[in-house]
Amino acid sequence: MAQRGVLRPGFVQICVLDMEKAITHYRDHMGLELVGIEADGRAYFKGYDEFDRHSIVLREADAPGMDVLAFKVYADEELDSFEKRLNDMGVTTTAVAVGEQPSVGRRVRFETPTGHVFDLYAEMALSENGPMVTNPDLWREEPKAMRIQRFDHCALVGINIVGAANIFTEALDFTIVERAIIPDSGEPVAIFLTCSNKAHDIAFLGNPDNDGKLHHVSFNLESWTDIGHAADLISRYNISLDIGPTRHGITQGQTIYFFDPSGNRNETFAGGYSHYPDNPVREWTVDQMGKAIFYYEKEVHGRFVEVFT
């Protein structure tokens, strides 16, 4: 697949209540590499199979949630083109200067009607501990804890999810892969989008009472066996479990959900189908949402649709 434009989710900045506890969770229990802690207190992490310097940023704050989700663009000159397309849609953009995060180039920032903040950027320094490229072994250092390969996607909660999705499809060339709809009206209650051939790179989940919320941050694992291993660690370290191990009907990925010490929902995710631009959109109706979300259990517990940060 010849890919240019927006490449993938690049990094997410998460708000945590206690940095020391958060570092223990993301480094020691999940197995992310702690890249560094900067003078402003923010902590930077990466998965073992990521080339770029960081993909997860933690900021200590008074409330949990997400500050910004950033997508990496193929080339710096494309930032200007995307900014113009956003502006032509009536979406206001602002500039984030080089150096706001270490080793990251200029960023174009915008906000969706759901109240979420997004950045586009093209430049980030490579990690000094990234995957090997000459006669490469499977990994440079043995993966630890949950063996996180990479940051995979975010699911975000808001009211006007159609308006948010339109920005991604019309200005940024994302494709709607899958959605859940109300049969009589056709109104989407969940929209899954990709900029690659993954099952999703971002998801918007509709909620009439919450805007600008984070549902979960997802991390890719290699296999279903690794999902089980993550479950073992969740039990061993008394991490707050949400649900799983199980499987999704939507995306068909294997999954387990749990919470970091601040209450932010994490997911470890493996598998999922491949999507190509000529594929039709897959649809679920709301009466089948239990099976769509949790394919084995065929029901959704209240916490999953009520707890956001």
Instruction: For residue range 138-172, list pLDDT tens digits in order.
Output: 999 999 999 999 999 999 999 999 999 999 999 99
Q: Of these residues, 153, 178, 215, 275, which one is catalytic?
A: 153
Q: How many CA atoms lie within 13 A of 100 on its CB side?
A: 15
Tell me which residue of 71, 72, 230 sits closest to 148, measured CA to CA: 230
- For position 2, what pLDDT does the model report? 54
CB 174 within 8 A of CB 204: no
CB neighbours of 236 closer than 8 A, spacing ≥ 6?
none
And the tokens for 42?
């923010």
At 107-133, the pLDDT tens digits run 999 999 999 999 999 999 999 999 999
Phi and psi of 158, rounded to 5°? -165, 180
| 229 is an active site residue | no
| C-alpha dist (Å) from residue 263 to 32, 41, 234 | 18, 20, 14
Query: Is position 54 annotated as part of the catalytic site?
Result: no
Catalytic residue selected from 33, 83, 178, 267: 267
Could you tell me if 137 and 48 are in contact, meaning their C-beta atoms sit under 8 angstroms apart? Answer: no
Residue 59 sits at φ, ψ, to 5 deg, of: -125, 125
Q: pLDDT band at residue 1, thresholds of 50, 70 and 90? A: very low
**Which of 26, 48, 121, 257 is flagged as catalytic?**
257
Give whole-number Cα distances, 118 to 6, 113, 232, in Å. Answer: 13, 12, 34
43-46 and 56-60 strand pairing: antiparallel
- Looking up tokens 């959704």 gives 300
Q: Which of 25, 29, 215, 248 is catalytic?
A: 248
200 is catalytic: yes
Please provide the average confidence, as pLDDT, over all residues in the chain.
96
Annotated catalytic residue within 29, 54, 216, 275 = 216
pLDDT digits (tens, 9 = 90+) for 233-285: 999 999 999 999 999 999 999 999 999 999 999 999 999 999 998 999 999 99
Which residues lie closer than 8 Å to 225 by C-beta, 6 or more apart?
A: none
- Torsion sign, CA atoms 130, 13, 20, 220: negative
Q: 0.75 exceeded by the pTM?
A: yes
Q: What is the 3-state secondary structure (H, E, C) of 92-112?
A: CEEEECCCCCCCECCEEEEEC
Structural domains of the chain, ranges and CATH numbers in brackets:
6-121 (3.10.180.10), 152-306 (3.10.180.10)
Average pLDDT over residues 97-106: 96
The answer to whether 216 is a known catalytic residue is yes
How far CA 234 is from CA of 25, 126, 259, in Å, comes to 10, 31, 10
Residues 16 and 262: beta-carbon distance below 8 Å: yes
Catalytic residue among 25, 200, 215, 275: 200
Q: CB-based contacts of 96: which residues, under 8 Å, 6+ apart?
A: 106, 107, 108, 109, 119, 121
Q: Return the structure tokens found at 185.
A: 């009206």
For residue 142, give the DSSP letter: -
Check if the beta carbon of residue 121 is closer than 8 Å to that of residue 107: yes
pLDDT > 70? residue 55: yes
The first and second tokens of residue 103, run together, are 């080793």
Q: Which residue has the tokens 């499977």?
A: 138
Closest C-alpha to 227, from 244, 210, 213: 244
Known catalytic residue at 296? no
